[in-house]
Amino acid sequence: MPELPEVETIRRIVARELTGLALRRVDLTLPKLVRDSPLPDLDLLVGRVVRGADRRAKVLVTHWSGGLSVLTHFKLAGQLAVMKPDGRRIVAGHPVPRPDGVYPHKATHLTFQFADGTIVYYSDIRQFGWWRLMATDAVAPALAAFRFGPEGTGGLGLDRDELAGRLQRRRMAVKQVLLDQRVVAGLGNIYVDEALHRARIHPGRAANSIAGEELSALHEAIGWALERGIEQGGAAIRAGKAYPRDGFPAVHGRKDEPCAVCATAIVKMTLGGRGTYVCPVCQPEPVAST
């Protein structure tokens, strides 16, 4: 968190609310936020105009006039809050700071002030996120260096047969494989849990054991989970507890709550160091080989 749906939500906010605005001032209070950056001084953006926003996997790309672009990775706890002159507030990403709270927060490390009065706050309580300023021409090779796999959202590149090939090469748990951004770009902990539950596959199953109808179900479920997240502007998870809308998330963050399919209590386990939520009936444990 934030994962692909949250970052896509932020991209849409930036495109809608900031395109065409000229930057008046930048305040950076955490210098390490701008790291591994070809152009380390964000003040170079002052006076430039936002031209648009793209996304690749969980990386937001904002384009500015004069041939500059910024790559932003929100990592575990990044949040973007846009305050408009008419009083509107649009917040996406991590739930801390409280979207209806006071800004700047103690976790706010970067502030953009635009000429029309719009203010943008970037907050990150874990301080793992990063910003990289570069020439727009450098964006494509910079993204290519991450070696991202195909996008998991419907119609954006995740082919069923390609997914099959990527899973068949790996014996480790299917959840851990799906979290690898080189396998499916943008999938994170929340949406892997949701996809596996919808496909009725236990997260501890060996990736190379998924085939046939199960593979087709998983392929569909990945796109479904990400699209549902995008529709909602990101899953509502606060302090590890889900606040579902229209039954989504169905399992993640819902320990001890009844499964929507079979009413069995959802169980939380740890897999690869990640909190993982499963229905023990809909997603039976793999049988140990003898």
Question: d(Cα 248, Cα 47) in Å, to the nearest integer?
Answer: 42
CATH 3.20.190.10 maps onto the chain at 4-144
Mean pLDDT of 8-32: 97
Query: Catalytic one among 58, 166, 205, 228?
Result: 58
Please give the CATH topology (third level) of the domain spanning 4-144. Answer: N-terminal domain of MutM-like DNA repair proteins (3.20.190)
242/44: higher pLDDT: 44
Question: Is 3 an annotated catalytic residue?
Answer: yes
Question: Is 56 an annotated catalytic residue?
Answer: no
Mean pLDDT of 182-195: 93
**pLDDT exceeds cutoff 50 at 275:** yes
Taking the CA atoms of 146, 149, 152 and 154 in sequence, report the sign of the dihedral they define: positive
Q: Find all residues with CB under 8 Å of 269, minimum gap 6, and list them.
A: 275, 276, 277, 278
Helix (H, G, I), strand (E, B), or coil: what is residue 204? coil
Q: Are 45 and 39 in contact (CB under 8 A)?
A: no
CATH 1.10.8.50 maps onto the chain at 160-278
Residue 126: how many CB atoms within 10 A of its CB? Answer: 12
Mean pLDDT of 215-238: 89
Altogether, the residues listed in the chain come to a count of: 290
**pLDDT exceeds cutoff 90 at 13:** yes
Strand ranges of the sheet holding 130-135, from the earlier edge strand across to the other edge: 50-56, 59-64, 68-73, 130-135
Question: Is 104 an annotated catalytic residue?
Answer: no
**pLDDT exceeds cutoff 80 at 132:** yes
Mean pLDDT of 94-120: 96
Question: d(Cα 25, Cα 116) in Å, to the nearest integer?
Answer: 12
Stated as kind and residue range, the H or E segment containing 63 is strand 59-64
Q: How confident is the model at residue 75 (pLDDT cuts 50, 70, 90)?
A: very high
Q: Are 236 and 245 in contact (CB under 8 A)?
A: yes
Strand partners, 173: 206
Query: Catalytic one among 2, 5, 244, 249?
Result: 2
243/269: higher pLDDT: 269
Q: Write down the H helix ranges in 151-188.
A: 160-168, 174-178
| CATH architecture of the domain formed by 160-278 | Orthogonal Bundle (1.10)
Query: Catalytic one among 75, 200, 268, 274?
Result: 274
Could you give the angle at which helices 160-168 and 212-231 cross, rounded to 10 degrees? Answer: 110
Question: Is 241 an annotated catalytic residue?
Answer: no
- Residue-level pLDDT at 235: 77
Tell me: the pLDDT tens digits for 110-125?
999 999 999 999 999 9
- Residue-level pLDDT at 19: 98
